[in-house]
Amino acid sequence: MTTTLTKPPAEPVPEPPRRGRRRPRSARAGGQMHAGPIAYIILALFTLGSLFPLVWTAIAASRDNQRLAQTPPPFWFGGNLLDKIEIAWTDANMGEAILNTTIVAGISAVTVVFLSTIAGFAFAKLKFRGRNALMLTVVGTMMIPPQLSIIPLYMMVAELDWTDQLQAVIFPSLVSAFGVFFMRQYLLQALPDEIIEAARVDGASSWRVIWHVVFPAARPAMAVLGMLMFVQVWNDFLWPFLVLTQNGNPTVQVAVAGLGRGFTPDQALIMGGALLGTLPLLLVFAIFGKQIVGGIMQGAVKG
Amino acid sequence: MTTRHDTTAPPVKGGAAPGRPPGDAASPEEARKRARLSRRWQRDLRWSPYAFVSPFFLLFAAFGLFPLLYTGWASLHTVELTAPTDMEWVGLDNFTRIFDDEFFWNAAKNTLTIGIISTVPQLLMAMGLAHILNYKLRGSTFYRVVMLAPYATSIAAASLVFVLLFGRDYGMINWALDLIGLDKIDWQSDKWPSQIAVSSIVIWRWTGYNALIYLAAMQAIPQDLYESAALDGASRWRQFIHVTLPQLRPTILFTVVVSTIGASQLFGEPLLFDANKGASGGSQHQFQTLGLYLYEQGWINQHLGRASAIAWTMFLILIVIGIVNYVISRRLRASS
């Protein structure tokens, strides 16, 4: 499937020698065709729509509440941005929340990538009894809605006295059926059997094969999966909201959600917190956006 | 990430391989050693696959399978959040109660309507966008990354911004409506406006993501299908209808299923759209979803048994939707 992404578009069919008639315009179809001005206008509108709420978060955070309670709403920045961010950072626990979320998302992403790679390798390249049935189970588990598990999970966490502690969020996010599926699909075509056999003939044990052959071959997919998992755990809301309170180890989502409560909430402060909670991920996107886009598109075309 | 080795498959020295003895073994000691290594080799080949997949299954059993089954068990009991280990068997009482509960049906209806008004426009727009992005474009990577920025924004941050944008008195959307001479809309209190507002958060976050998935599928369509359609004189619109859409059918089905599952679990957006009303989903429950209702029953009213029954009912509804989807897609395939 990666090949379909990198492959140059098919060669145009040689012009049929038809006298006096040009090839129909529509022959330059699909991906071959240059976009017209209307396409650019639509894309510009869509870019505006995608970015406007984000930019406006910053505008709202840079104003005070009185200005936000006036019409027309502000369209440009005021001078309070740094103040609000500082208040959100110190008073509203955002600093701690960002640290917590980084820890949780980091541990989850690294573990998911590691476990998914070795399991995906086994499913893609090793023969063992029950392989197909187990793989079917993995795919099946992707269908289970999380609501079904949260009640007993909550009871487990309460029993273990993990409420308000980060491991309550970390443990359930250590495995991902999607991750196993993703790595299997990747390794099926990215890792030729001959290389594994060659390593075997040289006397490599299975762990050595993993370390010296599978990991290097899987590195691009591992990076993509790691980023996808990081984003997912960072933005997870329901579960952290249930097991973490604002007072004990909130994640970013819990802290930001907490800002919205109260009967006279400080709107500008809420926006400051929301901005602060979103910035780290937007930064990741600005840097790795291209790879993440590629990863999502790669995961989308299932073989 | 875990390794710095840049070469693929460096020859590993020192290990003994079967079928490639280091020389003609002479001494019995060496033969024993080789036999031992060979046994170890066999064990490795036989059991290491299980070692590689078992961490996933162990963790899944603990944090996926066990909770799943336990929810079913708990749904047949009266369990309170305050004492989750005291369970009293009540059979199907929790389920029959749900079916007589007007708030459950209200939440089910809201979930359905919000699901439809968020999923349908989202997927249609995603399809159109993917089609545009499939042309040769200047700066196409830029558009793709920008499209994904909402996906990187959390539910909490996005919901809170939209609350401000949809504000009744000073919100930007009402200001714009006023500007073009329309009446202001009470986006939080009226039923349809509030559901549209909640849906717009979902649409904003997921349209770009789905567009990328469609785009990936479109790029996998063989170009010669378009070439031959074009030579047959098909217009670009007809090419889209007769080539692109049929080729995308599995992907469309996939996004419909995923979006349906996502819509059925809608929780954060309606919760935060009126944060002061807690989990009631607005003053009149006008945008309370099943996810919110489950939370209200379990964590506000502290009836975990009833919440479990809601969870299982949601699961069963999803299964029914899945079967309907499957039947429809089979019909479509058969008819074409």
Q: Which residues pair with A245 in a beta bridge?
A: A248
Q: Which residues pair with B303 in a beta bridge?
A: B80
For chain A, count helices (H), then strands (E).
15, 0
- Domain boundaries along the sequence of chain A: 46-296
Q: Please tell me the predicted confidence (pLDDT) of residue A175.
A: 85
pLDDT class of B24 with cuts at 50, 70, 90 = low
Per-residue pLDDT tens over the stretch A178-213: 899 889 988 988 888 888 888 888 888 888 888 999
Integer Cα distance of B252 and B332 in angstroms: 13
Out of A101-110, B16-25, B139-148, the most confident range is A101-110
Per-residue pLDDT tens over the stretch B239-250: 888 888 888 888
Tokens of B132: 């545009």
SS3 category, A136: helix
Which residues 168-207 of A are in CB contact (within 8 Å) with B? 171-172, 174-175, 177, 180, 195, 198-207
Which residues 200-219 of B are in CB contact (within 8 Å) with A? 204, 208-209, 212-213, 215-219
Q: Which residues pair with B89 in a beta bridge?
A: B77
Integer Cα distance of A279 and A288 in angstroms: 14
> Domain A46-296 maps to which CATH number in 1.20.1530.20, 1.10.3720.10, 3.40.50.10320, 3.90.1580.10?
1.10.3720.10
Integer Cα distance of B255 and B271 in angstroms: 25
Q: Please tell me the predicted confidence (pLDDT) of residue B26.
A: 60
B83 CB neighbours in chain A (<8 A) are: none
For residue B331, the distance in angstroms to the closest alpha carbon of chain A comes to 22
pLDDT class of A57 with cuts at 50, 70, 90 = confident
Q: Give this prediction's pTM.
A: 0.81
In 10 A of CB B28, how many CB atoms?
A: 8
- Taking an 8 Å cut-off on Cβ atoms, the answer to whether A284 and B135 are in contact is no
Tell me what the pLDDT averaged over chain B comes to: 84
- Taking an 8 Å cut-off on Cβ atoms, the answer to whether B12 and A212 are in contact is yes
CB A29 within 8 A of CB B231: no
- Taking an 8 Å cut-off on Cβ atoms, the answer to whether B213 and A50 are in contact is no
Where on the phi/psi map is residue A185: left (φ > 0), alpha (ψ -120 to 50), or beta?
Answer: alpha
Q: Please tell me the predicted confidence (pLDDT) of residue B5.
A: 43
Q: Which of A116, A98, A128, A89 is nearest to A269 (CA)?
A: A89
**Domains of chain B (ranges, CATH numbers):** 102-335 (1.10.3720.10)
Which residues 220-279 of A are in CB contact (within 8 Å) with B? 222-223, 226, 231, 234-235, 237-238, 241-242, 252-254, 256-257, 259-263, 265, 267, 270-271, 274-275, 277-278
Which of B59, B67, B304 is the closest to A149 by Cβ?
B67
- Which stretch of A77-81, A227-231, B18-22 has the lowest confidence by average pLDDT? B18-22
Tell me which DSSP letter residue B87 carries. Answer: E
Out of A116-120, B66-70, B137-141, B272-276, the most confident range is A116-120
For residue B97, the distance in angstroms to the closest alpha carbon of chain A comes to 19
pLDDT class of A263 with cuts at 50, 70, 90 = low
Q: Please tell me the predicted confidence (pLDDT) of residue A299.
A: 67
Q: Please tell me the predicted confidence (pLDDT) of residue A149.
A: 84
- Taking an 8 Å cut-off on Cβ atoms, the answer to whether A33 and B318 are in contact is no
Tokens of B41: 């080799």
* B2 contact A CB<8A: yes
Tell me what the pLDDT averaged over chain A comes to: 80
Q: Is A129 exposed, middle or buried (0-12, 13-18, 19+ CB in 10 A)?
A: exposed
- Mean pLDDT calculated for residue range B114-141: 91
pLDDT class of A90 with cuts at 50, 70, 90 = confident
In 10 A of CB B85, how many CB atoms?
A: 8
Per-residue pLDDT tens over the stretch A233-242: 998 888 998 8
B297 vs B44, higher pLDDT: B297
Tokens of A146: 């999380």
What ipTM, to 2 d.p.? 0.79
